[in-house]
Amino acid sequence: MASFFKRKPAAPAADKASTPAEAPKPRRRDFNELKPDPDKIGISGSVPFVRLPDPASLFSDRAARLDEAAPGHPLEAYLRFVAEVARAQATVQAQVPPPAAPEAGDLALRSEHGMPPLSRHGLEADPAFDACLLALLDAVDLTTAPEASGAARESLRAASREDRLDLALQVFEGALPVDRIAECVFVSATLQVRLAGQAARLDTKILKPVADGVCPCCGGAPVASVVVAWTPADKARYLSCSLCGTYWNHVRIRCTACGSGEGISYYGLDEVSKDVQVETCTTCHSYIKHLHQHRAPTLDPVADDIASYGLDLKIAEEGFRRAGLNLLFVI
């Protein structure tokens, strides 16, 4: 039977040390007073707001992590299938030229109105998106994949260019049609390739926070929360975009869905690595995977979200709903 454990966030230290003669008197503290202690969370100075994706290594590294997690796993067949998709993404990314950067005027206008620079209009104007999708369908090895995957590939090949683009726009906007979920995996994989290529060419200086749980590059939802080990962001917390792969900084112990700093807890399973947990919020009853990449550098948001599916099953029993989104594992 799975053993489920809960860890509450560490309580802040008292303002003054107590003495045997006199204990400190409790005082009420305004929420706005509470600030993270850089020494306690491993951050010195300011950390970068975003880290843009590196398309040249993003998909190959993900495939390697999926291959590592697959042997003996209850979801071994699916992990191996997604590994093949990631390998196809790496192949196509290297072969198809990246999309053009958004025009300066459009970037300035979207920034002025607090909107992310990458939008559905860029996807509609991308002349190579459809060719990239068809190339990915050719590149992916489905020898050992589920039968539904092969049928989905043939269905996409038989569809019109306009239909494939319409499906891509639905996925981009988070409206995945239930009757085409298998096809959405290939479309999502192509979107990730094209958007990672665009995001990688953005100027980080123009990127601004949009809203809780919204990627500042493309407006996508996060797939997971990650505690990183980069310099100078050691042990800082970032969210990883499910679409373009951008990482953006998010305050620790604060809900990624509603922004609340109260009622945050962390859960794990003995059967799942201690470096992969879920962060729950009792304010909005949502949860997101929480990866300690600073302790296990090979952890990948997409791969380890799938590999830790047991956590999703268990936390759903507690009444929490998923706040993140994994486009290669829609549950």
- Look at residue 218 and tell me whether its pLDDT is greater than 50: yes
Confidence band, pLDDT 50/70/90 cuts, at residue 118:
very high
Tell me the one-letter amino acid at 65. R
Q: Given this model, what pLDDT does residue 194 score? A: 96
Which residue from 75, 72, 86 is spatially nearest to 312, judged by alpha carbons?
75
**Eight-state DSSP code of residue 248:** E
The full set of domain ranges for the chain reads: 50-322
Record the tokens describing residue 62, joined without a space.
């993900």
> Mind listing the pLDDT tens digit for each residue in 130-176?
999 999 999 999 998 988 999 999 999 999 999 999 999 999 999 99
Q: Given this model, what pLDDT does residue 234 score? A: 85
Q: Given this model, what pLDDT does residue 25 score? A: 40
Confidence band, pLDDT 50/70/90 cuts, at residue 10:
very low
> Mind listing the pLDDT tens digit for each residue in 173-214?
999 999 999 999 999 999 999 999 999 999 999 899 999 899
Mean pLDDT of 304-326: 95
Q: Which residue has the higher pLDDT, 6 or 131?
A: 131
The alpha helices in 175-248, defined as continuous H runs, are 181-199
Q: Given this model, what pLDDT does residue 233 score? A: 82
- Look at residue 277 and tell me whether its pLDDT is greater than 60: yes
- Look at residue 19 and tell me whether its pLDDT is greater than 70: no
- Look at residue 31 and tell me whether its pLDDT is greater than 50: no
Mean pLDDT of 85-95: 97
Mapping DSSP to helix (H, G, I), strand (E, B) and coil, where does residue 180 land?
helix
Q: Given this model, what pLDDT does residue 4 score? A: 61
Confidence band, pLDDT 50/70/90 cuts, at residue 43:
very low
**Eight-state DSSP code of residue 205:** G
**DSSP states along 24-63:** PPP----GGG----HHHHT--S---SEE---HHHHHHHHH
| DSSP element (H, E) containing 290 | strand 286-292
Please state, in angstroms and as integers, the Cα–Cα distance from residue 80 to each residue in 69, 88, 96, following that order.
9, 12, 24
**C-alpha 126: how far from chain center:** 24
Confidence band, pLDDT 50/70/90 cuts, at residue 8:
low
Confidence band, pLDDT 50/70/90 cuts, at residue 109:
confident
Mean pLDDT of 61-80: 97
Residue 168 makes CB contacts below 8 A (sequence gap 6+) with: 123, 129, 133, 187, 190, 191
Identify the CATH number of the domain defined by range 50-322.
3.90.1670.10
Residue with tokens 């589920």: 146
What's the whole-model pTM score?
0.86
Measured over the CA atoms of residue 86, residue 235, residue 115 and residue 258, the dihedral's sign is positive
Q: Given this model, what pLDDT does residue 36 score? A: 38
- Look at residue 244 and tell me whether its pLDDT is greater than 50: yes
Q: Given this model, what pLDDT does residue 28 score? A: 34
- Look at residue 224 and tell me whether its pLDDT is greater than 60: yes
